[in-house]
A and B are shown apart, each in its own frame.
Chain A
Amino acid sequence: MAASQTNALNWFLHRITGTFLIFFLITHFWVQHYDHQAASVTHEVVTEKGEMPDYPEEAEEGVEARMGSSAEATPYQVVMQRLADPVYAVLWKGFNILFLVVALHHGFYGLNNVMTDYIRNPMGRLVARALSWTVALGLLILGLYSVITAGW
């Protein structure tokens, strides 16, 4: 009984997290990959080893404004330049923690659905389930660490 209720809840949650992920992804792509103040020029291939991608003028100006006129617009500095704004940093961290939790739940619940379909042995299922959620927990800790400490 309890198990079937959990399954129904997870089934429902999978649809809710999926819907939320669409909105999270739109925001994520908009802010990180297509915004000229943050995106490295995505339409640029860097072929030499150690060569850095160029940034749009908006990004270079932002880095100079925050980090001083001698600062270079490297990928790291461009991220830091935005995180130096406390309001942006709080919003960014809040958003990414939520994004991380929702994406991990959606991904690993889905993965467990697939594995349950192909693993017939109850013991095998248990092992797969335990292993996959352990990986998810590890990734949650890693991700939280990256998001929280970014910009410190």
Chain B
Amino acid sequence: MAVDTEERPTATASKTDATAQQERRFQRYRIRTGMFAWMMHRLTGVGLVVYLIIHIWGLTALTDPETFNALIAKYHSPIYKVGEFALLVAVAYHAMNGLRIVLIDFLGWSPKQKKLFWTLGAVTAVIILVGGWPSLYALGEWAFGPGSMPTLFL
């Protein structure tokens, strides 16, 4: 991310003391595309670790039929359907942005990086729409009644 060389705001010359220093610190961290991508990568990453813990913990239910059935039935409740979709969004974003980082790290920085960003963004959108459709469909059928949702990709 260090090669992001868009216009950096010039420090205000009149203020020379600690306030100016403080202000510059914040100005340096202006949120542009790369910074936003990095922040989201962190947020989704931490979220996915939390999910990983819950997931491994939950799957110990595999040792008991009753517990496992109850767990899967619970995963089919509306709130978990919303969570399921949010999880897919986080996974798809983290995976595709991670792929972008790996490509940049191993193949080198390229002037076409904006193109790479938006291409992978489009791929992410497709993954979320196609992969997440069953969850959205389920929520729609539940909220608006049976037969109210089109059966795309199903």
**Cβ–Cβ contact A46 & B69, under 8 A:** no
**Cβ–Cβ contact A21 & B95, under 8 A:** yes
What interface size band does chain B fall in?
A: 35 or more
Contact of B105 among A15, A42, A50 (CB under 8 A): A15
Tally A-B pairs: CB < 8 A.
108
**Cβ–Cβ contact A111 & B59, under 8 A:** no
Contact of A75 among B48, B72, B78, B105 (CB under 8 A): B72
- Min Cβ gap A67→B in Å is 12
**Cβ–Cβ contact B138 & A110, under 8 A:** no
Query: Given A75-B68, A76-B68, are A43 and B134 also a contact pair (CB < 8 Å)?
Result: yes
Contact of A149 among B46, B48, B53, B63 (CB under 8 A): B63
Q: Mark A127-145, 1 if CB is under 8 A from B, else 0.
A: 0000000010001001101
- Min Cβ gap B137→A in Å is 4
Q: Mark A12-43, 1 if CB is under 8 A from B, else 0.
A: 00010011011001000100001000001011
**Cβ–Cβ contact B68 & A108, under 8 A:** no
Main secondary structure of the interface of A (DSSP, over half): helix
**Cβ–Cβ contact B45 & A47, under 8 A:** no
Cβ–Cβ < 8 Å partners of B135 in chain A: 42-43
* Chain A to chain B contacts (Cβ below 8 Å), 22 pairs: A15-B102, A22-B95, A22-B98, A22-B99, A25-B95, A40-B72, A45-B138, A45-B141, A46-B73, A50-B70, A75-B71, A76-B72, A79-B68, A108-B49, A111-B49, A139-B53, A143-B59, A145-B60, A146-B56, A146-B63, A150-B62, A150-B63
Q: A22-B95, A44-B141, A100-B56 are in contact. List 8 more A-B contacts (CB 8 A).
A: A19-B99, A25-B91, A43-B137, A47-B78, A75-B71, A145-B63, A149-B62, A150-B63
